[in-house]
Amino acid sequence: MQLTQFSSQHLRSWADYSGDFNPIHFDPEIAGKVTGNDDVVIHGMLAMMHLKRASSMPGDDGVWVQWHAMLRQAMPLQQPYQIVSEKKPGAAKMRTRLEDLNGQLYMSALTQACEVPEWHETTERFALATDTAFQRLQECVADFPVCSPAWIALDAMMFSRYVQEHGNQVFHEDFFRHIGPACADDLAAGKIVVMQTTHSSLFAQDLRADTNDLRFSQFEYAVHTTDYLQTNNGLVLTVEVPVWLDGKLCFIQRIGLMLRQL
C-alpha cells in the first residue's frame, strides 16, 4: 500500500504543463455544481501518474501492454489517498486501485499483456519536431518524477498535446454536431465542463525503458474521435491518439470524456 496526497500546487503544475485549466480543478463553486463536492477536484491524469507507476508490467515477451483505468468518481483535493495493488501468484493481470483511507474507491486500473494492435484509420497524421518531443518529455519527468518510465511520460505529453492543440476544435465540432449550434453561448460563457471517465494506454515493450533512454528521429501522431453517446445534458466520447516513432506504431492513447452543460 502506498499513501499519496495532492496539493493546489500539484494542480497548478499539471495545468501549466498540460493546458488543462478546467474550472472544476480551481473553482470550488463550479466543482460543487458538477460533482457535489465542497472542494475542487484533482485532475484525473495527475492522479493516474501514481497509479501507473504502482502497476506491475507483464513479462518481456514481445507483446504490447494495455493499461486501462476507470475514473469512478471525482477526487476532492483536501484529503489523503492510498494506492493498493493486487496480483495473484502466477496471474497475468494486475489490478490497482486508488481509494481514500476509508476504502472509498475513486479510480481502478487493470494492467495486462495485449496483442500488437493495428491502425486502420485514415486520419491525418501530425508531425512533431524531434527536439520539441524530447524537450516535452524531459519537462514532464522534471516536473513529475513519477512519470518515468517512458510510456508514462509519453502518455502525459500526448494528453497535453491533445488539450493544447486539438481539444477545443474537437469539442466545438462534436458539440455542434450532436447538441446543435444553440450550445455556442454556453461554450462562450464557460457553462460546459469536461470530465474524464476512462483512460487507456497501449504501448510497445520498448516504452517500458527509462524516459532518458528513449531514442527516435521521427515523431508522428494522429487524433481520432469515436464512440459518441448523447446524454440529456451533454455528450460522451472517446478520443484516440496513436503515436508512431520512426514510422512504427508504438503507442495508442484512448481518452474517455464526458462533456456536460451546467
DSSP-derived letter for residue 174 is H
pTM above 0.95, yes or no: no
Predicted pLDDT at 33: 84
Q: Mean pLDDT for the chain?
A: 88
Nearest to 152 by CA among 46, 42, 25, 3: 46
pLDDT in tens, 201-236: 999 999 999 999 999 999 999 999 887 776 666 678
Q: Is residue 183 over pLDDT 60? A: no
Predicted pLDDT at 186: 56
163 and 227 Cβ atoms separated by less than 8 Å: no
Angle at 92 between CA 72 and CA 205, to 5 degrees: 90
Task: Encode burial over 78-90: b for 16+ CB neighbours within 10 A, e otherwise.
Answer: eeebbbebeeeee
Q: Which domains, from first to last, does the chain contain?
A: 2-261 (3.10.129.10)
Q: Kindly list the distances between the CA atom of residue 219 and the CA atoms of 92, 129, 133, 154, in Å, as whole numbers in the listed order.
A: 31, 7, 7, 12
Q: Which of 32-46, 99-113, 124-138, 149-163 has the lowest mean pLDDT?
A: 32-46
- Pairwise CA distance, residues 156 & 141, whole Å: 10
Phi-psi region of 81 (alpha: psi -120 to 50; beta: other; left: phi over 0): beta
